[in-house]
Structure 1
Amino acid sequence: MVDAASPVLLFDSGVGGLTVYDALREVLPQAPVIYAADLAGLPYGTKTEAQIAARVSGLLGRMAERFRPRLVCIACNTASTIALGMVREVLAVPVVGTVPAIKPAAALTKTGTIGLVGTEATIRQAYVDDLETKFANGKQLLRVAAPGLVEAAEAKLRGRPVDPALIADVHARIAAMPGAENLDTLVLACTHFPLLADELEEAFGPQVAQVDGAQGIARRIAHLLEGQEFAATGPNRFVVTGPIEAAAGLEPALAARGFGPVEAF
């Protein structure tokens, strides 16, 4: 029997997983949530696979011991494509990952040309090659690494302006690829990137549909927790690795989402 106060643990390198949190609140508003941001490890996209696998599995092992979650969601594409299997072996609770939304994008595209924007670590993964082969065979997938957008999303949620040059650079690099004139769908293969949906629409145009996995992940979590009881004992918790000062500026965004004060892990 699951303790009704047992939380869902959402884990990300930074604040990108809040896009998953927002989607989860729509389908499971009563579920207690602990959001863990590995700000001390941010960004993940520039790290090696071995570094990410060791860090994520180690942190989630310790967090599972401390917080006793009923389910863990790795709300980070980079961490999921690299460490999901390892984390599932370590933890005794269900673990939901986040993978690039290539399948829904392939179903949506009319032209067959899809852009995929992610971190350097995500776009080079064999996992992404497999998704392309399985779901986008016969389609054109234009992959671009956009690590600067992680920092831009982190800044935006803290109330700071987004550098338009970062968005323009991503657009220019995709536009320079053969076949890009037919682009009609853009996969946001990092949970941070939907926070920049308005800026991306301004650059790519409203005719390019943006696709991310947040709603699908939320539905998967809700399905796995179907029939369980929930009893929140207070506001949802937001914990960070490293100095708590790294979360400065997030207070309004967190308060608006029903989180209590930032805590150190």
Structure 2
Amino acid sequence: MTDTRPVLFFDSGVGGLSVLGPTRALLPHASIVYAADSAGFPYGTRSDADIAARVPALLGRLTERYHPRLIVIACNTASTIALAAVRAALDLPVVGTVPAIKPAAQQSGTRVIGVLGTPATVRQTYVDDLAARFAGDCVVLRHGSAELVKLAEAKLRGEPVEPAAYREALDGLFGQEGGGEIDIVVNACTHFPLIAQELSQAAPHPVRFIDGGPGIARRIAHLTAGQSWPETSPPGKAVFTRLGHAERALEPALSGFGLDTIEAL
């Protein structure tokens, strides 16, 4: 029998679409539920304690409603703070999002890499550990920008954004001592690949931006290997914890990712 259980993607907003995209490419017939905690957005400026309590509770409710086969926490902030608690609470596979510091260090020529995330992500000891394990011979410069998260959301709503806003947001990374030597930037927020072109154009010198989306997609494909899917791709569903005008404005962008139905949790 066809297994109709969905893969559940979770983020504070639409950043997880940058993980959903490559997953759709590998698993075109997968049933998808995309959940955004719009009532709690943005996570990057919330306290660790708030996120640690909020994320497991929400994913528990979502699991009860949608019965997913697998959960993807497509949010770096939520993953670095709440992944262990979610895995302990739920009896199903849970995939987190890890900043791509290891491949950045492997590919950097200057041995100076940037980590661009939310304020909550870049302050985590988890990022310290990744840098120590995989980029010990590199200078790792970090910058947390809540503004870039808002710019990504605005872009997907179809709102115009001045290029200067991207340049100003990046000044906090490239303006640091040694910032002129950065050759690779880790997009340690799933929102940022959605504005990859804008970031590349705003950078003060040519750099490469990398993220973990394709690797996460491969992990999802591996964990679901051998499982059945519907013969045709079913309509995807987007779920918001607060469904208002701002969320409705995302409908065209969501449809482009195969999410044709929108509802409130």
What value does the CA root-mean-square deviation take over the aligned residues? 1.5
2:72 paired with 1:73? yes
1:23 aligns with 2:22: yes
Instruction: Give the Å deviation of 1:170.
Output: 2.8
Partner of 2:262: 262
Partner of residue 161, structure 1: 160
Tell me if structure 1 keeps the 8 A contact 2:235–2:261.
no
Compute the displacement of 1:233 (Å): 7.9
- Whole-angstrom distance in 2 between the partners of 1:52 and 1:186: 26
| Cα-to-partner distance string for 1:8-45 (whole Å, 9 max, x where unaligned) | 00000000000101010111111101000110110001
Measured in 2, the distance between the counterparts of 1:243 and 1:25 equals 25
Deviation at residue 224 of structure 1 after TM alignment: 0.5
DSSP 3-state at the match of 1:34: strand
Paired letter, 1:169: E
Give the structure 1 partner of residue 175 of structure 2. Answer: 176
Match of 1:228? 227
Find the residue that maps to 1:143 and give its secondary structure.
Answer: strand
Gaps of 5+ in 1: none
Tell me how far apart the structure 2 counterparts of residues 104 and 175 of structure 1 sit (CA, whole Å).
20
Q: Determine the structure 2 residue equivalent to 1:204.
A: 203
Instruction: Report the more deviating stretch, 227-236 or 251-260.
Output: 227-236
State the Cα distance separating 1:140 from its structure 2 match. Answer: 0.6
- Alpha carbons 1:81, 1:125 under 8 Å: kept: yes
Any idea what SS the aligned residue of 1:160 has? Answer: coil
Corresponding residue SS for 2:43: coil
Counterpart amino acid of residue 159 in structure 1: G
Structure 1 residue aligned with 2:37: 38
CA contact (8 A) 1:111 1:184 kept: yes
Per mean C-alpha deviation after superposition, the further-off stretch among 166-175 and 137-146 is 166-175
Cα pair 1:244 1:262 within 8 Å, conserved = no
Change (3 A) 1:68 1:88: same
Aligned to 1:242: 242
Give the residue type in structure 1 aligned to 2:253: A
Match of 1:140 in 2: 139
Matched letter for residue 245 of structure 1: H
Q: 1:68-107 alignment to 2 at 5 Å?
A: 68-107=67-106
Q: How far did 1:248 drift? A: 2.1
Q: How far 1:167 moved relative to its partner?
A: 1.4
Shift of 1:205: 5.8
Q: Is the 8 A contact 1:244 1:264 kept in 2?
A: no
* Count of paired positions: 264
154-163 or 171-180: which moved more?
171-180
Q: Judge conservation of contact 2:116–2:173 (CA < 8 Å) in 1.
A: no
Output one character per residue of 1:160-209: Cα deviation in whole Å (capped at 9) or x when no partner: 11233331123322232222221100111100001111111112267301
Higher mean C-alpha displacement, 46-55 vs 199-208: 199-208
Cα pair 1:5 1:233 within 8 Å, conserved? no
* TM-score w.r.t. length of structure 2: 0.96
TM-score, normalization by structure 1: 0.96
Q: Percent identity?
A: 53
The worse-fitting range, judged by mean Cα deviation, of 203-212 and 58-67 is 203-212
Shift of 1:243: 2.8
